[in-house]
Amino acid sequence: MFVDRAEIFVRGGDGGRGASSFRREKYVPKGGPDGGDGGRGGSVIIIAQVNADSLAPLIGRKFWKAEHGQPGTGANCHGRDGKDLIIYVPPGTIIRDRDRGNIIKDLTEHGQSVVVGQGGRGGRGNKHFATSTNRAPRETGPAGEGEARWLALELKVIADAGLIGKPNAGKSTMLSRLSRATPEIADYPFTTKYPNLGIVSLGGDHRLVLADLPGLIEGAADGVGLGHEFLRHVERTRVLVHLIEPFPTDGTTPKTNYEVIRRELELYSPILARKPEVVAISKAELTGSDEIRQQFQEELGREVLLVSAVTGAGLALLVKAISEALANAPKEPEMTHTLPTETVAIWSDSTNESMTDDSLDDSESLDETEARLEDDSEALDETESLLVDDSDFDDSEDLDDEPIILPMKPPVDSESPHG
The pLDDT score that the predictor gives to residue 215 is 54
pLDDT, position 214 = 65
Residue numbering of the annotated binding site: 165-172, 190-194, 212-215, 282-285, 308-310
Buried b (16+ CB within 10 A) or exposed e, 291-310: ebbebbbeeeeeebbbbbbe
CA 192-194-195 angle, 5° bins: 95
Of the listed ranges 48-62, 70-84, 139-153, 380-394, the one predicted with least confidence: 380-394
- pLDDT in the model for residue 391: 39
Q: How confident is the model at residue 354 (pLDDT cuts 50, 70, 90)?
A: very low
| Per-residue pLDDT, 73 | 92
**Rounded to an integer, what distance in angstroms lies between the CA atom of residue 357 and that of residue 349?**
16
The residues, ordered by sequence, that sit 6+ positions from 145 with a Cβ below 8 Å of its Cβ are 14, 15, 120
Residue 333 has a pLDDT of: 41
DSSP 174: H
User: In terms of pLDDT, which residue wins out, 166 or 340?
Assistant: 166
Q: Percent of the chain at pLDDT above 90?
A: 36
Q: Would you state the torsion angle of the CA atoms of residues 144, 145, 150, 154, taken in this order, to the nearest 10 degrees?
A: 50
Q: Which residues contact 148 (CB under 8 A, 6 or more apart)?
A: 9, 10, 11, 12, 117
CA-CA distances (angstroms) from residue 66 to 18, 42, 389?
Answer: 19, 5, 10
pLDDT of 389 > 90? The answer is no
pLDDT tens track for 158-211: 778 888 888 777 777 888 888 765 544 333 333 444 567 777 877 666 778 888
- Residue 279 pLDDT exceeds 50: yes
Asked whether the beta carbons of 395 and 71 are under 8 A apart, the reply is yes
Nearest to 39 by CA among 6, 13, 4: 13
Across residues 285-305, what is the average pLDDT?
Answer: 93
Q: In a 10 Å sphere around its CB, with 0-12 CB exposed, 13-18 middle and 19+ buried, how is residue 273 labelled? A: middle
Q: Binding site membership for GTP: which residues? A: 165-172, 190-194, 212-215, 282-285, 308-310
pLDDT exceeds cutoff 60 at 296? yes
- Which pLDDT does position 234 carry in this prediction? 77
DSSP state of 198: E
How sure is the predictor about 2, in pLDDT bands with cuts at 50, 70 and 90? low
In percent, the amount of the chain with pLDDT more than 70 equals 69
* Mean pLDDT, range 400-419, rounded to an integer: 44
Mean of pLDDT values over 47-55: 85
Quickly state the pLDDT bin for 301 (edges 50, 70, 90): very high
**Band of pLDDT at residue 410, cut at 50, 70 and 90:** very low
- For the cut 50, the answer to whether the pLDDT of residue 71 exceeds it is yes
Residue 36: the pLDDT is 93
Domains in the chain with CATH codes: 1-156+368-419 (2.70.210.12), 159-332+338-355 (3.40.50.300)
Question: Residue 370 has what pLDDT?
Answer: 45
Mean pLDDT of the chain: 75
Q: Is 397 exposed, middle or buried (0-12, 13-18, 19+ CB in 10 A)?
A: exposed
Annotated binding site for Mg(2+): 172, 192
Q: Are strands 85-89 and 103-107 parallel, antiparallel or unpaired?
A: unpaired
Q: Which of 138-142, 144-148, 161-165 has the least mean pLDDT? A: 161-165
Please tell me which residue, 267 or 215, carries the higher pLDDT value: 267
What does the pLDDT look like over 77-129, one tens digit per residue?
Answer: 999 999 999 999 988 899 999 999 899 999 988 899 999 999 999 999 998 99
